[in-house]
Amino acid sequence: MDLQAPLSVLKGKAPFTPELAIVLGSGLGALAEAPEARAGTRVLFTDLPGFPPQTVAGHGGLLIFCEMEGRRVLLQAGRFHFYEGHPMGLVTAPMRLYGRLGVPAVLLTNAAGAINRDFAVGQLMLIRDHINLMGTNPLIGPNLGPGPRFPDMTSAYDPGLRGQLAAAAAGLRLPVQEGTYLAVTGPSYESPAEIRAFRALGADAVGMSTVPETIVARQEGMRVAGVSCLCNMAAGILPQALTHQEVLEAGAAAAGSFEALVRQFIRNLAL
């Protein structure tokens, strides 16, 4: 998709170059309603040429430039998912824009199902690595970014930022998990057999976002940190069906600890 037009609108509205962009995942949108965020500069996705309105319940659809914990941040409430039928170019367009705005780092958050049986609903997982099972790659096509044609994914989730997240969690006495996030397209949830297969592959959590954004953010030269809110045990682990409602409710229940973690991380952010 054309990035020039939305980029020039965003540059025109941006009051500063953010130190960190934060993508707020399902149920984690409360931060967008915090007083600092309310006082910030809001840009609706629909103000950006080529960006369609949002469709899924629980997702907003705006960018907020604000000062939070003494730092300049850009909050992204809502994201474009591949399962909505959007092309990967749009799914990852925000990362391209942040890269070109000069944002040095992004924190990607999401709701995920826990595959690792040692994990519990409501816990947060720091993403250490990912497995891309979306069946495609957002970099297919002309190389749009400043980075190489074949970007390295060895340390896609920045070890330094992950250490800072772990330190923030420890400071709050908040127990967090660390693990591998596996991305599928959705929108159906997985079958129990798929979850067993994913566990055998080494996945700890499963979700329908984040990986394309990570790949493009890395190609844009940004440092990436990722946190999953484990909103349900993945299919087949518990003797019950999965519902989107349950995912949203668990996200809402974990919102307090998530927000505390993010604020502590921002406060002590060392880039």
Minimum distance of ligand HPA from residue 254's CB (angstroms)? 12
> In Å, what is the CA distance from 40 to each residue of 59, 75, 131?
19, 10, 35
Asked whether the beta carbons of 38 and 62 are under 8 A apart, the reply is no
Q: Which of residues 61-80 bind ligand HPA (CB under 6 A)?
A: none
Q: Which of residues 142-171 bind ligand HPA (CB under 6 A)?
A: none
Considering only residues 247, 261, 266, 269, which one is a binding residue for ligand HPA as defined by CB under 6 A? 247
CA atoms within 13 A on the CB side of 53: 2
Which tokens go with 187? Answer: 């929108």
In sign, the C-alpha dihedral spanning 190, 191, 194, 200 is positive
Minimum distance of ligand HPA from residue 126's CB (angstroms)? 17
User: Residue 136 corresponds to which amino acid?
Assistant: T
Q: How many other β-carbons are positioned within 10 Å of the β-carbon of residue 18?
A: 24
Q: Which of residues 10-49 bind ligand HPA (CB under 6 A)?
A: none
Residue entry with tokens 């990570």: 214
**Per-residue x/- mask for ligand HPA, residues 191 to 220, rule CB under 6 A?**
---------------xxx------------
83 is catalytic: yes
Considering only residues 24, 64, 111, 266, which one is a binding residue for ligand HPA as defined by CB under 6 A? 111
Residue numbers at the binding site for ligand HPA (CB under 6 A): 111-113, 186, 189-190, 206-208, 231-232, 234, 242, 247
The residues annotated with a catalytic role in the active site are: 26, 59, 81, 83-84, 111, 208-209, 232, 244
